[in-house]
Amino acid sequence: MKLLAIVLALLVEQVRPLSVERWVHAPLSRLADACARRFYAGRSGSAVFVWLAFVGGSSLATLALYWLLWSVQPVLAFGFNLFVLYLTLGFRHESHYFTDIHLALGMGELSRARQLLGQWRGESYSDATDTEVARLAIEEALLAAHRNVFGVMFWFVVLPGPAGAVAYRLSDFLVRRWRKASGGSEPSALDRFARRAFSVLDWAPARLTAVSFAIVGNFEDAILCWRTQAALWADPSSGIVLASGGGALGLKLGLPIRQSGSLLERPELGAGEEVRVESMQGAIGLLWRALLMCLLMLALGSLVVWVAP
């Protein structure tokens, strides 16, 4: 049943993409701010209460509603699973940026591609070359697919009902929310704890995503890059995903970039060729192959459980 819910949610989301900013991020921002006003007192301990109230409270409420619907009618519980997955799962949540950037670069509209990349990543890339824009778009696409698809799928399957999907996506949302609130200043206690909590939730999904990229891409290079490069990245989980993705694609990711008027030093991830505009299509192919493989594994697992005595 969980596999069917995932497949249907992905299909519905492809046919009718959700306006995430309006229907998800805006109400979640209000709820997160309300939790912060109620529980946050500027200390690490109070940051834990904010996280538990927002992520834990929402996940428990989701689980309770799921169990209630299941006790009334399992079909209602299945419909609730599908609805929650539609809100939390999907390639289309951020892929429109990637598609538009790819189209702009293909038409030689570098300034528009820079603008779109800046809107996507929340930085300025007015001096970035077309190669840098393409490389950053591929990096962001790999991470977005991991957060919006593979990580959500993992926790949806592991925990009962849709509670896992909700916990993972809300935890990721808080990281982005408090990082944006901190800006370039010293991270707040809220920001620091949100990052630590998400790193715990993302430990297993990041590694499974990396393995998926390796299986459907260049396995040897993906594993080698994962083992030797991921720890060099500022965020270890993101480093695992990007290093494996770059190795699987045979592309060099990371590297210094021009961002917000300055040169940002970054380690090299991946191996092989320099990124070109044409490389963006290969990244999309890798993501779809990885998704299909994960769905196939879930189908085989469901079949084993169903036929087991």
pLDDT in tens, 74-99: 999 999 999 999 999 877 778 889 99
Query: What is the pLDDT at residue 278?
Result: 92
- Predicted TM-score of the model (pTM): 0.92
Q: Could you tell me the residue range of the domain that residue 271 belongs to?
A: 2-307
Give me 22's structure tokens.
């309006």
- Cβ neighbours of residue 3 under 8 Å, at least 6 residues apart? 295, 298, 299, 302
Rounded CA separation 284/51 (Å) = 34
Rounded CA separation 73/196 (Å) = 38
Query: What is the pLDDT at residue 43?
Result: 65
Q: Can you give 137-162 as a three-state secondary structure string?
A: HHHHHHHHHHHHHHHHHHHHHHCCCC
Of 154, 172, 288, whose CA–CA distance to 238 is shortest? Answer: 172
Give the DSSP letter of residue 277.
T
Where the chain has pLDDT below 50, the residues are none
Q: DSSP states of 43-64 as a string? A: SHHHHHHHHIIIIIHHHHHHHH
Residue 269, SS3 per DSSP: strand
Indicate the number of domains in the chain: 1
- Are 84 and 165 a contacting pair, CB within 8 Å? yes
**What pLDDT, in 10s, does the model give residues 107-143?**
999 999 999 999 998 888 988 899 999 999 999 999 9
Give me 164's structure tokens.
């896992």
